[in-house]
């Protein structure tokens, strides 16, 4: 994928064909992505039930590599550049930049306040860390990725065996892991597509905590609902990654990497306290009471999952507060010049 990104940047569509070439590239990439997800889903499900021989597995591996290489087709639609003098190119570039500047300035009313002309936050991380919005975002990420990536997904096999001892098989456990990976990818694509239709980007940030809350409730409700609960966990992870990137890009015009890395730190901070100290410790303690290394029954994971549910609810409250704050800030701007997706901090 890095090679594809580098090739795309090095060979962008040229000049006046830009508007026509970009949709073609998008369709090619979207088609390849869909085919790859469908193929890998089929191989994962069928492989979980051990339906293929070793030679067939090798063939599927080669097919997967070929499908990944097909992403290079995204750089194919490139119009040849015309031979022009360097002086003409400079004048054409200057004229294009001037026209773009006039279009941007035309959208700002003459009597608009000065702060509306600065639509994105340009402050560095050390300044924004003193504000409330950045910490609300971090709480949302902790409340989503902590329970999901920190506890549930790494311990699917353990949770499955504890809550459904009679129905547990290694085949089903591997199948559930594959399912979470598939819905994770689909959730990322879905959030990206929804971002074109929502007025407030922060509204999409409500999806991850809602998904993790319903996933834990579903897991605790009944062993028969474990597949749905694990799929909802995958949706929570995928939607959190996608919405976190979109919200960071829509909020900060500079130092986007600093703020995204700050939010990403939740992934490195939560596994130890939640996965090891909370879930691991309580599970091992209950297993010792049963006289073995494995634990079977509702009590093995219930306390940990209820704690994770409370953390997920905390994330939802933070996401809702963030959405209300940004929506209120957008409504207070005059003439609707600054929307939520490009509101100041």
Q: Where do the domains of the chain lie?
A: 2-75, 125-336
Model pLDDT, residue 39: 75
Low-confidence ranges of the chain (pLDDT < 70): 1-30, 45-51, 71-121, 253, 332-345
CA–CA gap between residue 230 and residue 155 (Å, rounded) = 11
How much is the pLDDT for 334? 45
Residue 231 sits at the vertex; the CA angle it makes with 38 and 161, to the nearest 5 degrees, is 115
Output the six-digit token pair for 314: 């905390």
d(CA 64, CA 135): 41
Structure tokens at 70: 């097909």
- What pLDDT score does 342 carry? 36
Give 121's DSSP letter: B
What is the pLDDT, as a whole number, of residue 263?
84
Tokens of 337: 């010049």
**What is residue 227's predicted lDDT score, i.e. its pLDDT?**
92
- What are the backbone dihedrals phi and psi of residue 120, each rounded to the nearest 5 degrees, phi first? -120, 150
Q: Are 140 and 325 in contact (CB under 8 A)?
A: no
DSSP 3-state of 252: strand
pLDDT value at residue 64: 74
Tokens for 89?
């190119």
CA 157 to CA 295: how far, in whole Å? 12
CB atoms within 10 A of CB 217: 15
Task: At 271, list the tokens.
Answer: 């596994």
Rg (CA), the chain: 24
Please answer whether residues 47 and 57 qualify as being in contact, where contact means their C-beta atoms are separated by less than 8 angstroms.
yes
Residue of 195, 206, 201, 200 lying closest to 247 (CA atoms): 201
Q: What are phi and psi of 128, to 5 degrees?
A: -70, -20
Residue 63: per-residue pLDDT: 79
Residue at token pair 């509702």: 298
- The angle that helices 226-251 and 256-269 make with each other, rounded to 10 degrees, is 150
Q: So what's the pLDDT on residue 110? A: 44
* Inter-axis angle of helices 207-221 and 226-251, nearest 10: 170
Where helices occur in the chain by DSSP H, the ranges are 2-10, 18-48, 54-69, 86-106, 125-128, 132-147, 156-163, 170-194, 207-221, 226-251, 256-269, 281-289, 302-332
Return the pLDDT at 11.
53
- For residues 157 and 172, what is the distance between their CA atoms, to the nearest angstrom? 9
Answer yes or no: are the C-beta atoms of 206 and 315 closer than 8 Å: no
CB atoms near residue 158 (< 10 Å):
19
Q: Other C-beta atoms within 10 Å of 207: how many?
A: 22
* Structural fold of domain 125-336: Growth Hormone; Chain: A; (1.20.1250)
Q: Which of 65, 48, 49, 47 is nearest to 57 (CA)?
A: 47
What is the C-alpha to C-alpha distance for residues 272 and 284, in angstroms, rounded to an integer?
Answer: 15
pLDDT confidence of residue 344: 36
């Amino acid at each position: 994928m890095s090679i594809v990104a580098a090739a795309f940047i090095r060979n962008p569509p040229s000049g006046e064909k830009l508007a026509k070439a970009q949709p073609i590239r998008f369709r090619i990439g979207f088609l390849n992505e869909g085919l790859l997800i469908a193929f890998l889903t089929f191989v994962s499900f069928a492989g979980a039930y051990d339906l293929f021989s070793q030679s067939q597995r090798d063939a599927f591996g080669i097919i997967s590599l070929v499908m990944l290489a097909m992403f290079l087709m995204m750089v194919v639609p490139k119009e040849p550049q015309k031979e022009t003098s360097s002086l003409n190119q400079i004048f054409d570039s200057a004229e294009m930049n001037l026209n773009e500047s006039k279009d941007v300035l035309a959208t700002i009313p003459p009597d608009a306040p000065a702060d509306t002309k600065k639509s994105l936050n340009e402050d560095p991380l050390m300044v924004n860390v003193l504000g409330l919005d950045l910490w609300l975002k971090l709480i949302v990420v902790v409340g989503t990725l902590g329970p999901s990536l920190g506890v549930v997904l790494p311990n699917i096999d353990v949770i499955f065996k504890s809550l459904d001892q009679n129905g547990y098989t290694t085949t089903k456990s591997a199948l559930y892991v594959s399912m979470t990976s598939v819905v994770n990818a689909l959730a990322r694509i879905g959030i990206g597509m929804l971002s074109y239709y929502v007025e407030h980007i922060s509204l999409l940030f409500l999806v991850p905590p809602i998904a993790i809350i319903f996933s834990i409730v579903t897991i605790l409700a009944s062993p028969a609902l474990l597949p749905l609960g694990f799929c909802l966990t995958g949706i929570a992870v995928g939607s959190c990654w996608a919405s976190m990137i979109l919200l960071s890009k829509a909020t900060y015009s500079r130092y986007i990497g600093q703020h995204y890395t700050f939010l990403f730190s939740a992934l490195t901070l939560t596994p130890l306290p939640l996965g090891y100290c909370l879930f691991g410790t309580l599970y091992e303690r209950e297993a010792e009471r049963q006289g073995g290394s494995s634990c079977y029954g509702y009590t093995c994971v219930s306390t940990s999952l209820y704690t994770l549910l409370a953390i997920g609810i905390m994330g939802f409250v933070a996401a809702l507060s963030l959405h209300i704050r940004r929506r209120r800030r957008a409504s207070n701007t005059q003439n609707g010049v600054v929307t939520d997706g490009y509101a100041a901090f």
